[in-house]
Amino acid sequence: MSTPNNGAISRSTGASALSLYHLLDPEVLGNPYPLFCRLRTEDPVHWDVFLHTWVVTRYIDVLEVLHSFSAERTHTPEKLKSMGLSEMSPIAQLMVKQMLFMDPPSHTRLRSLASQAFSPARVAVLRSHIREIVNRLLDAVQKEGQLDIIRDLAEPLPAIVTAEMLGVPLSDRLQLKAWSADFAEMLGNFQHNPEHAPRMLRAVQDMTVYFRDTIRRQKDHPQEGLVHSLMTAEVDGDRLTEEEVVANSIVTMVGGQETTTNLIGNGVLTMLRNPGEVKRLQEDLSLIPSAVEEMLRYESPSQHTGRLAAQDVELGGRLIKKGQAVMAVMAAANRDPERFSDPDRFDVARTDNRHLAFGYAAHFCFGAALARVEAQEVFGAIIRRLPGLELQPSPLIWRNNLGLRGLTALPIRFQASHAAC
Ligand code: HEM
């Protein structure tokens, strides 16, 4: 949460100090891969003096961080007070109850209770329903011969699926989306922005009230979905508290929206930049699942995550001291030539593609199966229904989020005359 001096950032990363803070430069945010390459080759386990954190970029080291370092990284209310940020305490109090920020045994307990509520079998059942939603969204715009991928498809699909998955009224989806965007802005950014703090606080308070009300309502009128499943999940007589149900409904709601929106947007942009790969997909639709994995690797929606060193530990020849912060940059690891051949090439048929876009080990993404189904259905429909896909001329604007990589808009054109389903 340090605040680097934005004005001091050089336009080029070439001769300037090595730091992840260059991501604050819109040019670097638009294409962070040369910076990641520089970090990986010049100093793969790098002490970032500006951010006061270790930055880890090689595949093998990112695996180690995600496997062995502590996820308990939210500041305690006392620590926030010492940093002059005591007004942020309600956010910290919520986050310490979310599985994303826990170590075993608390994490193991929470995750196993939550897994009962959200099984791969339930996701498989959802596939045909997700296909219907995608087709409905495309029906609404197909005659036009143009659409904004973000506004018309990548935002509404996860918003609808998330409301249905949680078991809350579909009409609440715009509100859930707005809260999720606020929370994601905080999760994805490492600079503290005092102007945004009041909005974050209000979002956290409002979401908490919303999920508490939902729980009370569902005690009398159960609704199929994650909230009710979390309320009733039980392992050896152990149940989640109301606070835990609220905190983990929120992390699932946020986790399921921004990332999936970004996967769809980043994936379409990558296809438009690689017409040869689109042709391969048109000729062989069975490549869609592997194309989605390649999109996740090539333009990872969640670019990095944080951990703490639980004790003094050596990594890549550097000594990381107990309590120091570490950023594991999955997006850099996913372009590591020591792990992936020709890593800057987008190859929809890539094999041996064990990317880290969903993380690794205990915190491996809880919703990966759902995100994969959503993306496979979207890209299958795009390839079948939108021939002659091309970018409309307009500047690409990346979200002002350093960790959750995605576009604000992506206007495209296609041949409306071939628009029948
Ligand atoms: C393309 C879409 C997605 C991407 C790229 C993504 C990425 C990730 C990553 C990298 C992590 C691990 C973070 C860490 O280790 O610090 C994670 C965890 C998580 N994700 Fe996702 N996610 C996606 C979709 C979803 C969906 C659809 C849901 C909800 C249904 C979801 C819910 C979660 C939750 C609850 C965790 C925490 C798991 C834990 O701590 O045990 N994610 N996700």
pLDDT tens digits, 343-377:
999 999 999 999 999 999 999 999 999 999 999 99
pLDDT surpassing 50 at residue 2: no
Report the run of H or E that residue 249 belongs to, with start and end.
Answer: helix 242-272
**CB-ligand 1 contact for 357 (6 Å cutoff):** yes
**CB-ligand 1 contact for 263 (6 Å cutoff):** yes
**CB-ligand 1 contact for 192 (6 Å cutoff):** no
Q: Average pLDDT, stretch 382-393?
A: 94
CA distances from 84 to 34, 87, 195, 244, 306 (A): 35, 8, 15, 27, 22
Ligand 1: which of 259, 364, 377 to mutate, judged by most atoms within 8 Å of the beta carbon? 259
For residue 235, the model assigns a pLDDT of 83
For residue 417, the model assigns a pLDDT of 56
CA distance 122 to 115: 11
The share of the chain scoring above pLDDT 70, in percent, equals: 93
- pLDDT band for 419, please (50, 70, 90 cuts): very low
CA distance 161 to 226: 12
Phi/psi of residue 218, each to 5°?
Answer: -75, -10
Nearest CA residue ID for atom 40, ligand 1: 100
The share of the chain scoring above pLDDT 90, in percent, equals: 75
Does residue 1 lie within any of the structural domains? no
For residue 19, the model assigns a pLDDT of 94
Whether the ω angle into residue 105 lies within 30 degrees of 0, i.e. cis, is yes
E-strand stretches of 4-107: 45-48, 53-56
Q: Rounded to the nearest whole angstrom, what is the distance from the C-alpha of residue 191 to the centroid of ligand 1? A: 22
> pLDDT for 317-326, tens place per residue?
999 999 999 9
Does residue 407 lie within any of the structural domains? yes
- pLDDT band for 191, please (50, 70, 90 cuts): low
Nearest CA residue ID for atom 9, ligand 1: 358
Best CA proximity match to 74, nearest among 305, 246, 256 = 305
CA distance 406 to 180: 14
For residue 347, the model assigns a pLDDT of 98
Range of lowest pLDDT (74-83, 231-240, 259-268):
74-83
- Which SS3 state, helix, strand or coil, does residue 376 take? helix
- pLDDT band for 190, please (50, 70, 90 cuts): low
Q: Name the pTM for this structure.
A: 0.93
For residue 360, the model assigns a pLDDT of 98
Best CA proximity match to 133, nearest among 104, 106, 162 = 162
Ligand 1: which of 66, 263, 295, 365 to mutate, judged by most atoms within 8 Å of the beta carbon? 365
Does residue 324 lie within any of the structural domains? yes
For residue 128, the model assigns a pLDDT of 92
CA distance 79 to 259: 29
> pLDDT for 116-156, tens place per residue?
767 788 888 889 999 999 999 999 998 899 999 999 999 99
> pLDDT for 52-111, tens place per residue?
999 999 999 999 999 999 999 987 777 888 888 888 888 888 889 999 999 999 999 999
For residue 14, the model assigns a pLDDT of 44
**Strand 53-56 versus strand 45-48 pairing type:** antiparallel
pLDDT surpassing 70 at residue 300: yes
**Strand 318-320 versus strand 313-315 pairing type:** antiparallel
Best CA proximity match to 377, nearest among 128, 152, 122 = 128
**CB-ligand 1 contact for 100 (6 Å cutoff):** yes
Instruction: Look up the domain containing 238 and give its range.
Output: 6-418
CA distance 334 to 247: 30
> 78: domain CATH number?
1.10.630.10
- Quote the number of domains for the chain: 1
- Average pLDDT of the chain is 91
**CB-ligand 1 contact for 259 (6 Å cutoff):** yes
What's 384's DSSP letter? Answer: H
For residue 294, the model assigns a pLDDT of 98
Q: Rounded to the nearest whole angstrom, what is the distance from the C-alpha of residue 252 to the centroid of ligand 1? A: 8
Does residue 233 lie within any of the structural domains? yes
For residue 285, the model assigns a pLDDT of 97
Helix orientation angle between 173-188 and 242-272, rounded to the nearest 10 degrees: 80
**CB-ligand 1 contact for 301 (6 Å cutoff):** yes
The total of other beta-carbon atoms located within 10 Å of residue 46's CB is 22
Q: Rounded to the nearest whole angstrom, what is the distance from the C-alpha of residue 280 to the centroid of ligand 1? A: 29
- pLDDT band for 4, please (50, 70, 90 cuts): very low
